[in-house]
Amino acid sequence: MLKTDVADGVATITLDRPEVHNAFDDQLIAALTRAFEAAGADPAVRVIILTGAGKSFSAGGDLGWMKRVAGYSRDQNLADAEALAKLLKTIDTCPKPTIARVNGQAYAGGLGLIAACDVAVAIAGAQFAVTEVRIGLIPSVISPYLVRAMGARACRRLFLTAERFDTAEAVRLGLIHQMTSAEELDEEIADIVGLLMINSPAALTAAKALIRMVDRPLDDDVIAATAASIADQRASADGREGVVAFLEKRKPVWGTA
C-alpha cells in the first residue's frame, strides 16, 4: 500500500498500489499522513520525495472507497473529508522540503498531493485532470492548493470542464515546476535534492514557514512578521554560521533542524 525508504538523508514515500494506479482510500490516506509526520519529525531526514509505483502517480480516489463513501451520512462524510484535509495540510506544512516525483498520470486528489508539495517534477506526456465534477462531486479539499498553484482563472476552467491536460500545460499553469523524460526523472530529482542538501536545514524550515506567513494580503502584520522572522534567523546558530562561513570563504557546517 505504501513504502517508505530512507537513505542518505532522503525519505522516499511511494504510493504502492500500481494495480489501481495508486488510487487512495481512507487507509492509504491515514498511512500517508503518518508517513509524512514521521519523516518530518525524523532528524535523519533532510528531504522527502513522494512518488508512485508503476506507470501512474495517483488516479485520486479509489473506486471501492468512493462506493463506501456514497452510503455515508453527512457526519461520516465530514470525518472522511477532514482526514484528507489533514493529509494535505500535513504535506503542505511539513518542516522538511518535499518533492513530488510525478512518474505518470495524476487525476483528482492526485493533483492535490502534487500541489501540496514544495517542488514538482513530472515526466513529459503525463496526463492531469480535475475530474470530480464528472461524478457529481467538487474538488473541495484539494481546491486551496490547486488555486494557489495555478491561480483562480485557470481553475475556473479546469474545475468545470474536467478536461485533461499534459505536462507541458501543467508547467505553464504552475502545477509542475519542471518537465523531463522518464529516463532522466531520477537524475533531475537528484539534482534538486543536491541543491537542498547544501542549505541549512533550520533555514529551509523557516523559509517554508515564511512563505505560508506572507502568502496572504500584505498588511502591517505581515511586514512586521517578516522583519521578526529574518531577525530570528540571523540570530540563530545556522544564521550566524552561514554568514561567518561566507565571509571566511568556506563551506558552512549546519546544525540539525
| Contact in structure between 48 and 13 (CB atoms under 8 Å) | yes
Residues 6+ positions from 47 with CB-CB distance below 8 Å:
9, 10, 11, 96, 97, 98, 99, 193, 196, 197
The pairing of beta strand 178-180 with beta strand 56-58: unpaired
Among this protein's residues, is 132 annotated catalytic? yes
Q: Whose CA is closest to 97, among 80, 79, 121?
A: 121
| Residue appearing with cell numbers 529551509 | 204
Residues 6+ positions from 117 with CB-CB distance below 8 Å:
50, 91, 98, 99, 100
In this structure, which amino acid lies at residue 82? E
d(CA 253, CA 242): 8
Quick check: helix, strand or coil at residue 6?
A: strand
Which of 19, 37, 82, 132 is catalytic? The answer is 132
- C-alpha torsion angle, residues 92, 96, 97, 98 (rounded to 10): -60
Hey, which residues are catalytic here? 132
